Amino acid sequence: MRHCSVQVRGLLTRDELDRYNALMDVGHFLESSSRYDLVAVIQKEIDILILPAIERLKEKGRQRDRDTEEYLARKAQIEAELAAIRDEDEE
C-alpha cells in the first residue's frame, strides 16, 4: 500500500482521515493475505479519497504564491516611494 504524503494527510478532514486509515488497514491485511488483486482496488479507493486534500494543498500553494507576489509588489512600491522622498530631500 502506498501512503499519501504527510502534507496531504494533514489536509484530510476528520472523516476522510478515518476512512483513509481504515482503507490502509484493510489494504495491509489484504497484502499480508497475498490478495494483491483486491489491494489494487483498495489503493484506487485511497487515491480517489485523497484527491480533495491534494486540491486543498495545491490551493494553499497558489495562495502562498499570490501572497508572495502581493508582498513583493508592496515592497517595490515602498522602495519607490522612499527613493522619491530621498530625491526630494537631495534637491
Give me the pLDDT at residue 85, please: 86
Tell me how far CA of residue 63 lies from CA of 8, 54, 58, in angstroms. Answer: 16, 14, 9
Which of the pair, 73 or 85, is modelled with greater confidence? Answer: 73
* Mean pLDDT along residues 32-55: 96
Region 27-49 average pLDDT: 96
Q: Give the pLDDT score at 4.
A: 94
pLDDT in tens, 13-36: 999 999 999 999 999 999 999 999
From residue 54, give the alpha-carbon distance in Å to each of 1, 7, 32, 41, 69: 18, 9, 28, 20, 23
- Tell which residue, 64, 62, 45, has the closest CA to residue 4: 45
Per-residue pLDDT, averaged over 85-90, amounts to 80
